[in-house]
Chain A
Amino acid sequence: MKRLVMLCMVVMGFMSVKAQNTGYRLGDLAADFKLKNVNEKMVSLTDYKDTKGYIVVFTCNTCPVSRAYEDRVEALNKMFAPKGYPVVAINTNDPVASPGDSFDKMQERAKSKKFTFAYLEDPNHVYTKKYGANKTPHVFVLQKTAKGNEVAYIGAIDNDQEMENSGRDNYVQNAVNQLLKGEKPTVGFTKAIGCSIKWKKEASK
């Protein structure tokens, strides 16, 4: 019996390691957090009233791809916060590994770009790892359900980083619009080129 328990524990240990590496998949329930916003206030998903879900964007100050998308992230918030899907942005990067991503610089960026969404720091990459964000920008659309915040879309904002394609697929917009209609997003998972996360030194070794 003791052996069986040990075996179970070992197996579960492996499973949790695996889950940590891969992060969330579609249908998983996403963890809430309590992280510091650029206005010095702590923000959790539960703080938002009357929401139907959230557009969680893992991003940063310094990545050229993230910067190319800043205005589009702002537009997503303007478009969907009134409909119940606010944008919540989380900076993935360690401020020592990437000085341009310090809390001060985040505040500066949010001010100069007039972000209307929360822009949170994630010390020690706790939620970056938990969600499984592996690059910036990396979006997780969550849908509020009776069970919790269910991951309904993972991936890129659209398929047109340089805004050169008139036939752009606005992945996040499409996914949220479908969720608002009570449908499941047709495209739930996409990929795009992004910047690697600037991990804290000892964590990467």
Chain B
Amino acid sequence: MKKILVTLLLLISCVGLKAQVKLLTLNELEQRVTKGKDTTYVVNFWATWCGPCVEELPYFEQLNAEKSKSPIKVLLISMDFKSKIKEAVIPFVVKNKLKSEVFVASTSNQQAFIDGVDKKWSGALPATIFINTQKNIREFYEKEFTYAELAAHTKRISNL
């Protein structure tokens, strides 16, 4: 009986690990945001190889944890190469124990993805968009954030 339980637990944790990083198209991102339960989304575009991105990720994690009871959600969209998901992205997520939802952008047309997120985005990382679906607010920034800035923007945009 104990063995079965352990096996089950292992299986669940494996599934859990695997489920941590999914591919996401621009369309799926829009769906995730418009159909999700939350009203404010803080969507960060990053990559495992991007130093300033990796530096600010803990702030996004902190925000997500602190706002877990509010309708505010952090989504972390990695722009790593798709071929690096197993080799780089999943190990990174595991090592840094990321709790926010992590995706890898899936697109055959990077420019359409970039422009679809925001016309102002040059393609440089990191980039973050704050979305309030109720108020129809979208604010895009191609910059790094401190925790204080991130919290202030989120507060203003969510009104929470």
Contacts and interface: CB of A to CB of B under 8 A. Distances in A.
B142 to A, nearest CB: 8
B57 to A, nearest CB: 15
Given A162-B83, A195-B49, A196-B52, A135 B123 contact: yes
A35 B138 CA distance: 42
Interface stretch (B8-16, B31-39, B107-115): B107-115
A162 B82 contact: yes
A190 B81 CA distance: 19
Contacts of B125: 135, 193-196
A197 B125 CA distance: 9
Contacts of A159: 109-111
Given A64-B49, A161-B110, A165-B108, A194 B124 contact: yes
Interface string B69-104: 000000000010111000000000000000000000
Given A64-B49, A135-B123, A192 B111 contact: yes
A72 to B, nearest CB: 15
Interface in B35-55: 47, 49-52
A134 interface: yes
A191 interface: yes
Given A162-B83, A191-B115, A134 B122 contact: yes
Nearest to B53: A196
A78 B119 CA distance: 34
Contacts of B123: 135, 156, 191-194
Interface in A161-205: 161-162, 164-165, 190-198
23 contacts: A64-B47, A64-B81, A134-B124, A135-B122, A135-B123, A156-B110, A156-B111, A161-B81, A161-B110, A190-B111, A191-B121, A191-B122, A192-B114, A192-B123, A193-B110, A193-B114, A194-B123, A194-B125, A195-B124, A195-B125, A196-B124, A196-B125, A197-B124
